[in-house]
Amino acid sequence: MKLYTDRQYIPQRIGGGVTYETKRWVVSGDYSWMQWSRNPSSITSVKYIDQHRGNVGVVYVTSPRKPHSTELMLGVGYSNSYILLKQGKMYNFDVSAGAAFPVRETVVSLGVTWRRQMNTRSNLMQESRLSLNLNVTFGEKLSRGKLY
């Protein structure tokens, strides 16, 4: 039986955000920091560094006076990877867009996200990715009854 002797640290995370809301618009932004640099690496070409992540998003409500309204969403995010590979830093840039449609008590959301991974060295991996998302949130209509 082999015991694992390397110390692994749980990363510390600090973050915060702000939101501004009107009847038609919601604008929000957030920032988070995760301390990965305390983790040792058993591979010499890999080092862990602290991760910084920032996001900005906006939601537009099409009919704010209706209890169920279609919402259009757009977001942008930027972060660095917590892995330093061969002394090259990796960065991620995300753009997402979507819409949420109410269907009775249920909400159907459709979205698309494009992510580009960029690196400071051209011989490291570069990646672009497109994701399509479908989300269904089931709701339940609550009825109020009187007990006598």
Average pLDDT for the chain: 86
**End-to-end CA, the chain:** 67
Shortest CA distance to 31 belongs to which of 9, 47, 50, 46?
50
Predicted model pTM: 0.74
Q: What is the pLDDT of residues 15-55, one digit of tens each?
A: 999 999 999 999 999 999 999 888 878 887 788 889 999 99
Please state, for a pLDDT cut of 90, what percent of the chain lies above it.
51
Can you give the pLDDT at residue 73? 97
- Give the Cα separation of 55 and 49 in Å (integer): 20
Can you give the pLDDT at residue 5? 45
69, amino acid identity: S
What would the mean pLDDT of 92-104 be, rounded to a whole number? 94
Structure tokens at 30: 């957030």
> 68-97 burial string, b = 16+ CB within 10 Å, else e?
eeebebebebebbbbebbeebebebebebe
Can you give the pLDDT at residue 17? 97
